[in-house]
Amino acid sequence: MAEVKLMKGNEALAEAAIRAGMQAYFGYPITPQSEVIEYLAAQEPKHDYVLIQAESELAAVNMLYGSGGAGARVMTTTSSPGFSLMQEGVSYMACAEIPCVMVNVVRGGPGLGTVQPSQGDYFQAVKGGGHGDYHVIVLGPNSVQEMVDHIYLAFELADKYRAPTLILADGAIGQMMEKVILPAPIKYEPDKPWATTGKTPDRERNILTSLYIQSEDMEQRNLKLQAKYKVILKNEIRYEEYEIEDAEYIIVAYGLCSRIAKNVVNRARDEGLKLGLFRPISLWPYPWDRIGEIADADRVKFFISVEMNAGQMVEDVKLAVCGKKPVFFFGRLGGIVPTPEETYEAIKEKIG
Amino acid sequence: MLQEMIFAGFGGQGVLSMGTLLAYAAMKEGKDVSWMPSYGPEMRGGTANCIVNISDQPISSPIVSAYDVAVVFNQPSLKKFEQKVKKGGILIWESTTIKEPPSRKDIRIYPIPAIEKASQDLKNVKVMNMLMLGVLLKINAIVKKESVLQALKDTLPERHHHLIPLNKEAIDLGMSLAD
């Protein structure tokens, strides 16, 4: 039974995880996402999941590794400095092919930074924050509703590809309240013959490891991962287009910035300016090809990437546009959210 | 129609809950809403605020920098937000404690002694936020009073339901003060 509620992004994602059949949660509180563990702790007596407040993010990510390896539907949530601490485990899980959901409610960095919203962790999320040749699937919600929808999707993708899956939100999406439709709870029944649930007489031992001492074995493991990433690249690209059909100038923005950008597009259209918005929803795999197609259109004059960082996703936009059109950047740093006014001004300045 | 509003005051004065109630009531009336709090370095005794947007259409940006309505409970908030009220917009300010009044001539300004009225007439200073909400609803009928009362019932824990009549009284008093 679907329910309509007014909820904070963090609480909505916690409720969604319960409804999506999460069996274990491990985390360590950190602003701006501590409401997740608070909510899950309050709800725990009514449900079957395991909840552990770990002694650190490093412990939490390794609990995730263990329980995900045992086949459970598992999740952790954290914010920027905490996610940096987890990177070793993320790399291990990518190699050992452990399905799990991770949520980074990003705050301003680098360092301990600020608790205000930021998109400064884009590189870390999509280019691999840990060591080695790996990717995690990355989703970028832009509303409280998508915090919910992406949790369901992230658990599905994690299981389907046996891949750690990351939701890259930000402090504002976590803290704000909006109307949200909560889908009916699902009964999750793991179907994971590879899981380390104890050897039975009818099969070999299941081994999950990220250690392959022989280079030949390590290369084979890498090739297997790369083949999987190719399939993900083919199947799991998601994006939204807004007023793109006749747009001459195109904002590219994800997460909170895409909401601000939509406001700017509406203002521009009221003034007869042909502005459009391209919003990547999957940040890895990134919709490079679609942006490239848009760049081919003669009417398109330039792209501008709007971000809460010093210019990170703009590199993917440049890759996608491949020199066909100019690509600009506008952003604010350190936890400052760009206002629609200043964003619009920056765009008008480029138009000249 | 889109209404962009800010509620600001000291932590503990009930600005966040006032915004929440309004957002909830509007949602129940079928509108799209967003509620964005200031968070982080704020603490009890420090300043707190929330931006509430209510619209018949889907809301794009939950964060805006100019407001149709500002309701402010302390001097720092008045200083910060007076200039951010849109031309022709509404500024409601708490006149018991704010000593330097606003100076703009191009907006509609309402001084309300909410703290004095709540503590003297209602014997409970805590409901001054509801009194201010009453003022706002009278000036600008964003939602129906009944929707706010229903929102109180829906969002308050059962153990606090005995306070609903007092809150209703505060809203009514606020509505009468706006006349």
**Token digits for B153?**
């019932």
DSSP A253-297: --HHHHHHHHHHHHHHHHTT--EEEEEESEEES--HHHHHHHHHS
Give the one of B20, B34, B63 whose C-beta lies nearest to A260's C-beta: B63
* B40–A contact, CB cutoff 8 A: yes
Which chain B residue's Cα is nearest to A257? B61
pLDDT at A146: 98
Q: Encode pLDDT of A56-69 as tens digits.
A: 999 999 999 999 99
Q: Encode pLDDT of A305-349 as tens digits.
A: 999 999 999 999 999 999 999 999 999 999 999 999 999 999 999
For residue B23, list chain A residues with Cβ-Cβ distance below 8 A: 6, 177
| Average pLDDT value for chain B | 95
* A332–B contact, CB cutoff 8 A: no
SS3 content of chain B, % helix, strand, coil (to 5): 45, 25, 30
CB contact under 8 A, B63 and A4: no
* Cα distance between residue A312 and residue A292, in whole Å: 18
Q: How far is the first Cα of chain B from the last one, in angstroms, to the nearest whole number? A: 24
Percentage of chain B lying above the pLDDT 90 cut: 92
* Cα distance between residue A100 and residue A69, in whole Å: 9
Q: Encode pLDDT of B1-56 as tens digits.
A: 899 999 999 988 999 999 999 999 999 999 999 999 987 666 667 889 999 999 99
* A87–B contact, CB cutoff 8 A: no
The structural domains of chain B, with segments of one domain joined by +, span 3-177
In this prediction, residue A214 has a pLDDT band, given cuts at 50, 70 and 90, of very high
* Cα distance between residue B89 and residue B109, in whole Å: 9
ipTM of the complex: 0.94
| Average pLDDT value for chain A | 97
Domains of chain A: 3-235 (3.40.50.970), 240-351 (3.40.50.920)
* B65–A contact, CB cutoff 8 A: yes
For residue B32, list chain A residues with Cβ-Cβ distance below 8 A: 179
Which chain B residue's Cα is nearest to A31? B40
* Cα distance between residue B61 and residue A264, in whole Å: 9
* B120–A contact, CB cutoff 8 A: no
pLDDT at A2: 75
Q: Encode pLDDT of A258-309 as tens digits.
A: 999 999 999 999 999 999 999 999 999 999 999 999 999 999 999 999 999 9
Q: Encode pLDDT of B141-157 as tens digits.
A: 999 999 999 999 999 99
Arithmetic mean of pLDDT, A212-235 = 98
Which chain A residue's Cα is nearest to B25? A6
pLDDT at B42: 61
* Residue A152 backbone dihedrals phi, psi, to 5 degrees: -60, -50
Q: Encode pLDDT of A175-205 as tens digits.
A: 999 999 999 999 999 999 999 999 999 999 9
- Report the phi/psi class of residue A98: left, alpha or beta, with left for phi > 0 and alpha for psi in -120 to 50: beta
Percentage of chain B lying above the pLDDT 70 cut: 97
Q: Encode pLDDT of A115-174 as tens digits.
A: 999 999 999 999 989 999 999 999 999 999 999 999 999 999 999 999 999 999 999 999
For residue A11, list chain B residues with Cβ-Cβ distance below 8 A: none
Give the one of B39, B65, B66 whose C-beta lies nearest to A32's C-beta: B39
CB contact under 8 A, A178 and B24: no
A299 close to A323: Cβ distance less than 8 angstroms: no
CATH fold of B3-177 reads Pyruvate-ferredoxin Oxidoreductase; domain 3 (3.40.920)
pLDDT at A135: 98
CB contact under 8 A, A176 and B37: yes
Q: Encode pLDDT of A71-110 as tens digits.
A: 999 999 999 999 999 999 999 999 999 999 999 999 999 9
